[in-house]
Structure 1
Amino acid sequence: MNKIIVALLSLILMFGYFSFFGIRLLPLIFLLLIIIILTSIIFNSFIIEKDISLIIASVLTSIVFVFSIYTGSFDFFAGLLVFFTLSHWPLFVNIKNPHSLSNSVSAMYIYSGIVLSLGLFIQIFMFKFLGLSFGKIDLYGGKRLAFAFTWQDYSFLSLYFASCIPLVLSHNFKIKFFLKLVLIAFLIVASLSTTARTGLASLILTMVLYSALNIDKVIVNKKLYYACLITILAYPLFVFLKKDFILIEREITVSSSGRTEGYAEGISYFTDNILLGSIFDPIRYRDTIGVIPHNLFIYLAVVGGLCLVVFTIFWLLTIMLKVYRLDSKELVYSFIICLIGFQFIPSIFSGYFFSILISIIFINYKYRVNP
């Protein structure tokens, strides 16, 4: 049963944003996942564990559902339901071998990232050299070509690749550490090849933070030293290679790309609609203002006002308390990479990769095992 769940989670990572002949695949995969979970609960007579994170998520989802009936827009509610289900599914099933399951989900998370990386490179190669177009490709200002393969958001995909990197270091691959470094470099190139900077920026900020807090360990441990070095040097390295590197179409800079204007407009809208924002309807905000703010907390404020901000912060705090108690520090840093990344992109509740990462945290916290 758990193997089926892991397989479905992998399908969500690879095809959760993909549409086949106009039909979104996520609802079908999610429905299968719900059936598996319900079957596990019924046939195993499993009692769902009471958890403060789950209680907060359930209350918030119920509130959003009520207001969705009022507005007639259920898109945000649907995304919230999927996100929280993917985050909390370990609380719904009876896990007989938690250590094995934790390893399986972590490995799936990494391998799905590798497969998506390969698919992205094939997409870029076929477009540039064969003139064949498939998957998500967009042309932006400055002749910037953005690639996302089966995903719909370039920043999400870039951040997902970056979040895989700490798990690569911790996972028990039967390969030498040098090959792990090669795999890390491979994922960094994939993250940059989307032309989104979110993943690399979050990775560098996290590793700088780690190096500052653990400078003595980094200096003594050569493996950590080289892992940090290859990450921190990634930015100037690819700035130097940019002109000759065929996979990177965008100039790598620290400009805000117009985000600050979106922040200002979002804050202004929030002050005028402080309690409920756009009443959990991002489309209403977009039609009114025109620019979705690329920041986790400002986005929450404009979509759901103080109600959504407060509930989400409390929910994240309960997750962070669990993260703090984990023995797997690499999993902790994958979580931090995602949190930093969401300060530059909107809608955390559309980041299903983040919810699956959180589910690994739940497995480890609930059963006190290392991934």
Structure 2
Amino acid sequence: MATSLSDRLSTELAGLRDAGLLISPRVLEAPQRARTRVDGRAVVNLASNNYLGFADHPKLKARAQEYLEKWGAGAGAVRTIAGTLQIHEDFERQIAAFKHTGSALVLHSGFTTNQGVLGALLQEGDLVVSDELNHASIIDGLRLTKATRKVFRHADPADLERVLRENPTDGLVMVVTDGVFSMDGDVAPLDELVAVARKFGAVTYVDDAHGSGVMGPQGSGTVHHFGFEYADDVIQVGTLSKAWGGVGGYAAGHGDLRQLLINRARPYLFSTAMAPATVGALAAALDEVQADPSLMERLWDNTRFFKAELHRLGFDTMGSVTPITPVVFGEAPAAFEASRRLFDEGIFAVGLGFPTVPRGKARIRNIVTAEHTRADLEQALSAYEKVGRALGII
């Protein structure tokens, strides 16, 4: 007899509950800010990806309102039929100029960007070599292709070279890596990875979801940080939902990349175009990050202070060098309990366990933003010290 839907749901949820892995998201009752309101409580927010404070920024909201009034609530069609508004193409030229690439295309999320770009480029007979800690969207995107898929050890150029040498092909060869790794907060050694890729004639594909707006001049990204922004053999993709405060994804690179994606990227071909208000907010974000260097200065000042104080207290932050600051608690139940206790102290910081991170490496992932004040961070550090000592972590 077939398994019923009720039995499947009950079994799966019970398994998650018994393992201490069942997730019940908290609900924000105020805008996404450095201080917000969650489940009826005023809290310091260390849980968001709102690096530059753009999610509730007045200039982004004003541009969104302007585009809403002028262009309407929605695009009304997929881009290839009747949904391409002039503002879409204007924004894509803005991204290409910011990224110093020959072309750029906007898609609907960072996740679908990886599906669309990898699916459009990779064919049977091609070889793709992926960092073992790459984001789930890369893993899922690669599974949808017919390319030969191999993995190299995390951020290890020597192992990448081994894999490339052992797997010769006449097809396209692609090396895929995150720019900044979202769980550990470390940066891919792109200078070494690109050098190895070029040795084998490979394209380097960088998902810079957590690097855009954070790394490089004016937040131009990890690729720029390492000096590869004008390279036609480097593809930059990412999300517009983190530092940029909105939603969507982008792909930027070779001058012909955009045209191929328009014709082959399935998320682009079969999804209604981005809403005008979103385009307006994102265009304003790109303008603002280039006009106001103090945003990135505050982001990095806050990051350095917070990390230094966590280290002084004795916490393990896994060597993170970016605003992503994991604090390790071991197993998932300990991380979840720490998150609950921090919330009781007025700090919103979410615990992460398996399968999001490896077993034994459960953590709370903190993200410091440009909007946090020193008082916000000192309150958070005081709470961390109290909770860490109570749980025997420090």
Tell me the TM-score normalized by structure 1. 0.30
Q: Which structure has the larger Rg? A: 2
Instruction: Give the structure with the higher percent helix.
Output: 1
Instruction: Give the structure with the higher percent strand.
Output: 2
Tell me the TM-score normalized by structure 2. 0.28
